[in-house]
Structure 1
Amino acid sequence: MPDYDFSQVDAAIIDPQVNTARVFRDVLGRMSFRRIELFDSVKSAVGLLSAGTPDLILVDADGDVDEAFRFVRALRNEPNVPNSFTGLIVTTWAPTPALLARVANAGADDLLLKPVSPKQVKDRIISLIEGRKGFVVTADYTGPDRRKAPREGTQVPVLDAPNTLRLKASGQWAQATVRGLMAEANGFVTTQKRMRGSIQVAFLAEFAMPGLSRSTPERSALDHIGRIGGFIDDLLRRLPDGGDLAHIETVAKSVKRLAEKLRGQADQGTVEADDVAQLQTMARALMQGVDPDRSLTDMTREVTAAVTGYRARLEQMAQAKAAAAATAAASAAGATENPATAAPPAGTTTTASAPGP
């Protein structure tokens, strides 16, 4: 292991399994971590989101998995977390495909499989010091950049997120202007969240338009409209009180009210076409207000490309699902018609046979 000094590094271990938590604590203790806090549940560790966020967090995903990932997403995305860039490793005994997807989508740095050896733990920590990925920020994600290739039409810059684990372990803490680094990174995140949030709102409005315009509004369109309020709320809490951005607050609140109005109209069975068009117009105005230096034409083109790509992916999934259903139905029909594969009559017995040549 390279010559790192962990005597100034703080860590937290969130794990309801006492023996496993002690294993992690002993490993970090032998590495000379300064402070190691143990928590037996995510709820008991919620204070880490408001004060004293450590440089490294290990969080178990085998207990209340939903709580675990809410914690990870809150740590990465809530605006007032002291260090939302802290090194974060999820631990598990059962690495299912669904869990792997949630780890990636929540913004964790890594996944560590139990049981663990001291070397495995050390290697993952060294990896966070030496090879941590840059962060990307979208409307609903902040974390390591896991894209194999950026999607066409998107412009998402990569942030070299402050890594207090690296700064402390490599002896750069005293030289680094950590407060300045954090302020700069948090400012970047705030700006990106506003921009990506406004683009997401425009995306949802444009996607929903055809479905809202039908004589009976489509459920999918209503579901997408229903998501607008959450992105607006997140954008609003990232605006300073008063100042030059007050007009953005006004537009954002108007967009939210109109989205709620459309859902109310849909519940009554009739959606006003003028209100649907107005929602798209106001959503685009919100994009322009949040990012006035960028061409509205370019932003609108990006939204349209994203909607087109999303519709194509939905269609591909629908076709794949239909094809799988047809294959399953054909197999079931074939089994019924073919005596060699049909179930034997009641009262008979079968014996296993060796596979054919």
Structure 2
Amino acid sequence: MSRAIPAMPLSPAPAAVDLSKVKTLVCEPSLPVRQGIRLALNNVGIRDITEANTFLAAHQACKEGDHDFLVLNQEIEANDSTFIMRELRSGALGRDPFILTVMLLSSREEPKVRSAIDCGPDDLLLIPFAPDQLMNRLRILVERRKPFVVTHDYIGPDRRAAPRPGATSATQFQVPNPVRARGTNLPRDRYDRQKQDSIVAISVERIKRLAATMDWECNALTVSAREGRMTVESTYRSLLKLEQVAGELSARVAKQLGHSTDTIDSLTEMCRRLKVTPNNVAFSDIETITQTSRRISGTYTSR
């Protein structure tokens, strides 16, 4: 059961940033925790606060609101809120994929922590916490927001201390900070231009990553077929993954680049058709998918 957050004295916010102008959304099912968060926000001058205590209300508020700062519990009514976070970061939900976000966790269990990290919030905070912990996180994020990185399944802050051995270093993107922009009276049209420039840059990188992932999945499927390691389950998973990746790639290519998506859509349709009867997938089918994927990846991985 969540405990109320005790009131503690807070030091004033940095003079250069007027937090009273910041619009905040708190998505938290526990009333005592919401009250504690509101008190913490009020103590640093934040008054424009929207609360959501159900998953539906949280999703709707994220979709329609124009917020700068989001406090989001990882679990609302037994629903996984990392879905909301991923939708926000991908641009599929809401008006600003760069909303500054602290995700609340009620458990230190490694799978839950990993799931929270992988959905792209700026920071994590374990319940229960003191108000100054939340506001200190906010101050740090206002002053020193981490750059974003993009992969085929992640858009969010770069949390790596260093690249994994043998891995290529991911491109970092300096993204706009809506809390700092609002608190320093940055003209809205200027912020919107920064936001749009970052959205385009990240989308182009995502396109490259999706195309490369699609090619990798096809190669893995080909090797598996040649070596006789294909199973109904593995074939279905590969085809489903290819369908999902190709579907997002098609949408991004059409929206950001204005390209025809006929070839990508044909690949999506092939995967959708074949996964209905994965036990009947022939090697010739895999060759056709792979050849189509190579044509697509050759177009977009080098952009």
Give the residue type in structure 1 aligned to 2:65: G
Please state whether the residue corresponding to 2:252 is helix, strand or coil: coil
Find out whether 1:47 has 2:57 as its counterpart.
no
Within a 5 Å distance, the mapping from 1:35-114 to structure 2 comes to 35-64=48-77, 66-79=79-92, 81-114=94-127
Which residue number corresponds to residue 159 of structure 1? Answer: 173
> Which residue among 255, 261, 279 is the counterpart of 2:289?
279
Give CA deviations for 1:81-137 in whole Å, capped at 9, x if unaligned. Answer: 311111111113322211110111110111112222221121011111122210011
C-alpha displacement of 1:215: 5.6
TM-score (norm. length: structure 1) = 0.74
Which residue number corresponds to residue 250 of structure 1? Answer: 262
- Checking the alignment, whether the CA contact within 8 Å between 1:208 and 1:222 is kept in structure 2 is no
Within a 5 Å distance, the mapping from 1:308-327 to structure 2 comes to none
RMSD: 2.4
Please state whether the residue corresponding to 2:275 is helix, strand or coil: helix
Q: 1:112, 1:212 → 2: CA distance?
A: 45
Give the residue type in structure 2 aligned to 1:282: T
Which residue number corresponds to residue 341 of structure 1? Answer: none
Q: 1:281, 1:189 → 2: CA distance?
A: 27
Give the residue type in structure 1 aligned to 2:56: K
Q: 1:215, 1:119 → 2: CA distance?
A: 58
Within a 5 Å distance, the mapping from 1:192-231 to structure 2 comes to 192-213=205-226, 217-218=230-231, 219-231=233-245
The change in CA–CA distance for 1:66 and 1:197 in structure 2 (over 3 A counts) is farther
Q: Which has the larger radius of gyration?
A: 1
Greater RCO (CA < 8 Å, at least 6 residues apart) = 2
> Which residue among 31, 37, 40 is the counterpart of 1:27?
40
Where does the alignment leave 5 or more consecutive residues of structure 1 unmatched?
295-357
> Which residue among 241, 253, 256 is the counterpart of 1:239?
253
The change in CA–CA distance for 1:18 and 1:80 in structure 2 (over 3 A counts) is closer
Please state whether the residue corresponding to 1:239 is helix, strand or coil: helix
- Checking the alignment, whether the CA contact within 8 Å between 1:48 and 1:54 is kept in structure 2 is no
Where does the alignment leave 5 or more consecutive residues of structure 2 unmatched?
1-12
Which residue number corresponds to residue 2 of structure 1? Answer: 14
Q: Which piece of structure 1 moves more, 154-163 or 14-23?
A: 154-163
Find out whether 1:120 has 2:120 as its counterpart.
no
Give the residue type in structure 2 aligned to 1:143: G
C-alpha displacement of 1:7: 1.7
Q: 2:145, 2:78 → 1: CA distance?
A: 25
TM-score (norm. length: structure 2) = 0.86
The change in CA–CA distance for 1:284 and 1:49 in structure 2 (over 3 A counts) is farther
The change in CA–CA distance for 1:186 and 1:236 in structure 2 (over 3 A counts) is same
Identity percentage over the alignment? 20
- Checking the alignment, whether the CA contact within 8 Å between 2:215 and 2:294 is kept in structure 1 is yes
Within a 5 Å distance, the mapping from 1:346-357 to structure 2 comes to none
- Checking the alignment, whether the CA contact within 8 Å between 1:209 and 1:221 is kept in structure 2 is no
The change in CA–CA distance for 1:202 and 1:13 in structure 2 (over 3 A counts) is same
Instruction: Tell me how many residue pairs correspond in the alignment.
Output: 288
Please state whether the residue corresponding to 1:237 is helix, strand or coil: helix
